[in-house]
Amino acid sequence: MQFWRPLSVSVLACSLVALAACSVVRPAPAPVIPRPAEFIPLGLGASYLSGDVIGGLKARNAKMRAAKIKPLGPAAAAQYLASTENELRSQTAGIGLDVLRVGDTILIRIPAALTFDSGSATVKPQFDATLKEIARTIRTRNQSFVDVFAHTDTTGSPQVNLALSQKRASAVATYLGGHGVAKARIASKGYGETMPLYNPDETEAQKAANRRVEIRLVAYRG
């Protein structure tokens, strides 16, 4: 009897531990936010997406060299883009934005509704965590130019829309720079209503799709 008592106590203790583990309340998974039907990969043939980096390649290369950022070779550039794209897709899954490949670049397309209130160029606090994660990836994978574009719909005058888009592009660029992305890598430009996904934008859903911010990563090859 004395031989079996310790074993029985041990079994009982293990059973209680297992029961306690089963009763742990695990947090519910984060809800998946579906991407709006109208916010699909349109406009990937637009000239500004395949054109030169903002400010010109020569000037931007000089800034990268001054910041002592090493250029990528051809094979390394392909691997860099693929791994960066995979990480960004994983980070942003289910939050209503697109990570797209456009030739040798990566485009992060964000509905403005996620980043700004109507008429505002202040980044919403609700989007801070996601934008911070995007900034972390861009910061650690530093061998690329970072172009920030902002767009509006056709509501309002072209002059007001252009000014607003410029402020929004600058606000996102400033945010990235404030969260560790080397400023030598970043440039921004607002296009106002001149580069729509939908033209004309007749429905509110189409207008919402046209109101967007885009972050383009272009491999730095020196």
Q: What was the pLDDT predicted at 130?
A: 84
The string of pLDDT tens digits covering residues 3-25 is: 444 444 444 444 444 444 444 44
Residue 86 predicted with pLDDT over 70 = yes
Cβ atoms of 81 and 106 within 8 Å: the answer is yes
Q: What was the pLDDT predicted at 66?
A: 97
Look at 36-50, 55-69, 194-208 and tell me which has the smallest mean pLDDT: 36-50
Q: What was the pLDDT predicted at 113?
A: 82
Q: What was the pLDDT predicted at 39?
A: 52
Higher pLDDT, 76 or 45: 76
Q: What was the pLDDT predicted at 46?
A: 86
Give the chain's mean pLDDT: 84
Note the pTM of the prediction, 2 decimals.
0.81
Give the number of other Cβ atoms within 10 Å of residue 190's Cβ: 22
The string of pLDDT tens digits covering residues 87-119 is: 999 988 888 888 999 888 999 999 888 888 888
Q: What was the pLDDT predicted at 125?
A: 87
Q: What was the pLDDT predicted at 8?
A: 45
Look at 44-48, 55-59, 83-87 and tell me which has the smallest mean pLDDT: 44-48
The string of pLDDT tens digits covering residues 143-176 is: 999 999 999 999 999 999 999 999 999 999 999 9
Domains of the chain: 37-219 (3.30.1330.60)
Residue of 168, 181, 173 whose CA lies nearest to 122: 168
State whether the Cα torsion 51-54-55-56 is positive or negative: negative
Q: What was the pLDDT predicted at 15?
A: 46
Strand order in the sheet with 98-102: 98-102, 105-111, 212-219, 144-151, 186-190
Per-residue pLDDT band at 126 (split at 50, 70, 90): confident
Q: What was the pLDDT predicted at 22?
A: 44
